[in-house]
Structure 1
Amino acid sequence: MLEEKLVEKPAMEGIEDLRPTPPGSARTWTWGVFAQAWATMMVNSGTFSSGAALLSLGLSVPETLLAQSCGAVILLAGLILNASAGVKYGIPFPVFARSSFGSGGAHFCTLSRGAVAIMWLSFQCWQGVLGIHAALGQVVGRARLRSWGRLGEHLDVAKLVILLLYLGLHAVLIQLGPAKLKRCISSVLPFMVMGILGIAVWAAFLCPVQEALVAAEESTPESIGSKSIAFFAAMNSSIGTWSTLVLNVCDLSRFSPTQKDQALGQALGVPVPFVATLFIGMWLAGATTVAYGKAVWQIPDCFAHWPSMVSVLAGLVLAAATLLVNVLANIISPINDLMNVAPNHFTYRGCGFFVLILSVAVCPWWTFSGRITFVLNFLSGYAMITGAIAGIFMADYWILRRRQLNVEELYTKTGVNWKALLAVLLGAAPLIPGFVDALIHQGGSAGHLVSPVWGHLYSGFSFLFSWSVAGTSYLLLSLGEFRTLRSKELEFSNIASSSSEYSSPNSNSM
């Protein structure tokens, strides 16, 4: 096979992780592994928090769940479609990006994807830090932790020390390499599921479910326009949260033996765990509002209401689960993205340590301190870029090339495909006014820089708009290449047909 021949070439790229994964023993990600891996990623503190945060848009609990469910279905479709090339050719995301963007243009895809993954890594790390900090506060006293000194409104010395130690654990796993991570998935997932279910049981003891869901709905929601706009904003946020994985899902699917494994595994591991975790997050927010007069919408905040030993165990489980999700979803891909820049000079471990440094530079204690900022400005902001890239990937692979790639050509220098870059610009440009306005406006009621139309386009449709416009633009710009590819296919088909007719008398005479 072509893939196996490429693997045998010692000069190809010089980095093992960028070479095609050959069929056989290396393809160990069956549907069960995919389902567990995605469930592990979905059942996390970020998903839990976003459920309650989205209620600030003014939607009811059923409306929010419906919007998020629609987003999960769209997300699943994108994952399955973009995972196909990884299964068929065994190539990782940086190599797959070269088919549509060229070897040089692929750097734009990988670095932009890596940047947003680092931001998500930063958020997840901060959630782990908050969990450990809250658990320690239950044991030694929050006053004692605060006595170490404060460095800002949301940061003190104790949290900074925990953050550095926590990143040190990430560094240890990076040093060991990614091979051992799959063994942790099946062991960590049960504890995460039991933890989320335990929170649901606690919420049920605080007050009746119906009363909790009514209390969860914001009495004074953020002003975002009509309910339709709020619905699409909630749907868009669920897609945007995992839009980076839509791009680099080849990094995982290249280890899958069949298309059925990746499709079935993701279908089982994405929608149900995602929506269930969202619901429990909203349920708890309402229950704590009734019981304590203030909504608890982040898992670490629960620890203040639990016994000390329970908080410590919960904090350790949260930290361990977040650590696994970080390495699995938010570290391996940025490492590959950075190595793709200079594969013969950058090392796996060196890029991994650099990724950790960048996650601290995001300043998560400040960046992720507000609900509306987190849901809209962060999620929708990067979704307009990842959506455009995903649209081009799908248009190129499924329509233009009809799932036929020249793998050997992907490992040669092909320059930059300006059509793909222009298509990204066309898909993202109309969203930029709303994005800038959201960054400056910060959820207030006055001081908008642009008309509401641009703001609604950005907040409610950043992924779907950029995906459709960029994909369509790319196909229109590539009409000439499309005709060339179809002519080559027709020529090959005629040759094959002639060959078949020529050999048929002999075959009939046998």
Structure 2
Amino acid sequence: MSTEMTESVAAVSTTQDSGIVTSPELYNADLAPTKREGRRWSAYSIFTLWANDVHSLGNYGFALGLFALGLGGWQILLALGLGGVFLFLLLNLSGFMGEKTGVPFPVMSRISFGVRGAQVPALIRGVVAIAWFGIQTYLASVVLRVMIVALAPSASTLDANDVLGLSTLGWISFVGLWIVQVIIVSYGMEMIRKYEAFAGPTILITMVALAVWMLSKADWSIAWTTPDSLTGGAMWSKIIGGASLWVAIYGTFVLNFCDFTRNAKSKGSIVRGNFVGIPLNMLLFGGIVVVLAGGQFKINGKVIESVSDIVQTVPNTFLLVMACLALLILTVAVNLMANFVAPIYALSNLFPKVLNFRRAALVSAVIGLIILPWNLYNSPDVINYFLGGLGALLGPLFGIVMADYWLVRRGKINVPDLFTMDENGDYHYAKGVNPRAVAAFVLTAIVALLLAFVPAFESVSEFSWFIGAGLGALVYLAVADRKGPFRDVSGEPIAIASTH
């Protein structure tokens, strides 16, 4: 009997033995709650998520941009530190939900949106993730092309043609990385945990080494500011705005952090992992940014835009290849956790009878390939209006989900009822949809989109995620049904072993 069939049979027998009836359109072995015994995600596992994600190429580009916008060394550290504190608090709130219930984000959304209405937030998060999975794979393939040409200069002849927007070498690099990620994720969450644990220290060592190398080039001193550095009110506005944007970058992750913490050993593991991985790790990240930006500016007065600008200047071919390999390991690690897991659970939630973790992973990956993501990345309209618009909706979703869980229900969740279509179930609402949550989302989504795209609101656009999340919470609290009674029922009777 295959592993997939064994998991399916085990899931059915568990629900039958417990006496609790689950609906097959809502329950499978990947969506089911995880048993507390045997959970493997420790504080180190949580830390390595952030050791990878914080040091992503996109984040370095953002932080280096703060230097270009007029913030000096200590201002950048303060902005990132403030953002880190906010994220630490938000991620704990989100993470505790997963640790208690043992369910992924699409199932968690059933609490506030209903067993059917939860498809809306899950699909919004999933669509954004699939698009960025493809884009990040493309960006990593560009680094791989550089490494291949460095090792085999004759390969540059494969980089001169164009097939659907990519050269032959570009296709080889993209498809190669695509296959690697599909193989890793096909082994489930446990393999992702192991990969993150391997990649985290690798990235930290590499980035610290790169910073030390830059310091040596700059005679062990750096420029802490540029001639265009901001002062006074403009400086403080940019610091607070930078901190807010730093949180917004993680708007996707704070929404579905429970996808990972459903396997956490305890709340303490989450807090410790988040503390070392977010505030402390972000300060280390900020220090590296300041050294890289300040060192390069001291050398030639140039403000760099990305880590790749520095890597390309490495004079030794061996060191250049090693740096490229580290960046590839990093990008794959970030892509797996930030852009691959979410659509897998979203698709499994949409078609639980036919899609398990592995099949949903393959479907997500194929979609990420056929959309030709390099064309999306090179289209400002797609990035700004489509992906930017969907991203703007994540703030209101976060506010509604958090307000319902923590303020309305006070953390009392009837986990078995998240898996039943029974009309008397706690989360059936009106034919499986909570109209109050939907109304709150539509109203605040309109506001979020206006903040994102109307030029008149440009002055507050840096705070759009906080505004959207705050409004989502307030509007939902104004219309939510607070009567209860809210029941706290464990999902252990229908839970599965935490093995994936």
With normalisation by structure 2, the TM-score equals 0.82
Describe how 1:426-437 pairs up with structure 2 within 5 A.
426-437=443-454
Quick one: which of 171, 182, 194 aligns to 1:160? 171
| Correspondence for 1:421 | 438
| Aligned-pair CA distance for 1:336 | 0.6
In structure 2, relative to structure 1, the CA distance for the partners of 1:261 and 1:312 (3 Å cut) is same
**For the residues of structure 1 that align with 2:283 and 2:167, how far apart are their CA atoms?**
34
SS of the counterpart of 2:350?
coil
Contact 2:178 2:365 in 1 (8 A): yes
**For the residues of structure 1 that align with 2:303 and 2:165, how far apart are their CA atoms?**
19
| Aligned-pair CA distance for 1:302 | 3.0
**For the residues of structure 2 that align with 1:40 and 1:274, how far apart are their CA atoms?**
11
Query: Does residue 483 in structure 1 map to residue 483 in structure 2?
Result: yes
**For the residues of structure 2 that align with 1:60 and 1:120, how far apart are their CA atoms?**
31
Q: Aligned AA for 2:482? A: F
| Correspondence for 1:446 | none
**For the residues of structure 2 that align with 1:184 and 1:247, how far apart are their CA atoms?**
22
**For the residues of structure 2 that align with 1:169 and 1:30, how far apart are their CA atoms?**
25
Aligned-residue CA RMSD in angstroms?
3.2
Contact 2:99 2:261 in 1 (8 A): yes
With normalisation by structure 1, the TM-score equals 0.80
Quick one: which of 341, 347, 351 aligns to 2:350? 341
Describe how 1:322-471 pairs up with structure 2 within 5 A.
322-360=331-369, 364-365=373-374, 382-413=390-421, 414=428, 415-437=432-454, 450-451=455-456, 454-457=457-460, 459-471=461-473
Deviations 1:174-230 (A, max 9, x none): 333332232333332222111001110111022256543335x768x9xxx955553
Contact 1:48 1:280 in 2 (8 A): no
| Aligned-pair CA distance for 1:363 | 5.2
In structure 2, relative to structure 1, the CA distance for the partners of 1:57 and 1:295 (3 Å cut) is closer
Q: Give structure 1 stretches of 5+ with no counterpart.
A: 438-449, 490-510
**For the residues of structure 2 that align with 1:55 and 1:154, how far apart are their CA atoms?**
33
Query: Does residue 19 in structure 1 map to residue 28 in structure 2?
Result: no
**For the residues of structure 1 that align with 2:105 and 2:470, how far apart are their CA atoms?**
21
| Correspondence for 2:194 | 183
**For the residues of structure 2 that align with 1:7 and 1:37, how far apart are their CA atoms?**
36
In structure 2, relative to structure 1, the CA distance for the partners of 1:380 and 1:200 (3 Å cut) is farther
Question: After the TM superposition, which of the residue ranges 172-181 and 103-112 deviates more from structure 2?
Answer: 172-181
Q: Aligned AA for 1:411? A: F
Q: Give structure 2 stretches of 5+ with no counterpart.
A: 1-13, 422-427, 489-500
Which structure would you say has the larger Rg? 1
In structure 2, relative to structure 1, the CA distance for the partners of 1:44 and 1:18 (3 Å cut) is same
| Correspondence for 2:330 | 321
Describe how 1:192-207 pairs up with structure 2 within 5 A.
192-207=203-218
SS of the counterpart of 1:108?
helix
SS of the counterpart of 2:223?
helix
**For the residues of structure 1 that align with 2:165 and 2:67, how far apart are their CA atoms?**
23
Identity of aligned residues (%): 25
In structure 2, relative to structure 1, the CA distance for the partners of 1:146 and 1:284 (3 Å cut) is farther
**For the residues of structure 2 that align with 1:378 and 1:74, how far apart are their CA atoms?**
27
In structure 2, relative to structure 1, the CA distance for the partners of 1:214 and 1:58 (3 Å cut) is closer
**For the residues of structure 2 that align with 1:7 and 1:323, how far apart are their CA atoms?**
41
Question: After the TM superposition, which of the residue ranges 361-370 and 347-356 deviates more from structure 2?
Answer: 361-370
| Aligned-pair CA distance for 1:381 | 5.0
**For the residues of structure 1 that align with 2:220 and 2:279, how far apart are their CA atoms?**
22
Contact 1:135 1:308 in 2 (8 A): no
Count how many residue pairs are aligned between Structure 1 and Structure 2.
459
| Aligned-pair CA distance for 1:24 | 0.7
Q: Aligned AA for 1:427? A: T
**For the residues of structure 2 that align with 1:204 and 1:378, how far apart are their CA atoms?**
41
Contact 1:335 1:348 in 2 (8 A): yes
Question: After the TM superposition, which of the residue ranges 61-70 and 80-89 deviates more from structure 2?
Answer: 61-70
| Correspondence for 2:6 | none
Query: Does residue 297 in structure 1 map to residue 312 in structure 2?
Result: no
Deviations 1:344-371 (A, max 9, x none): 1223333212322333466554655699
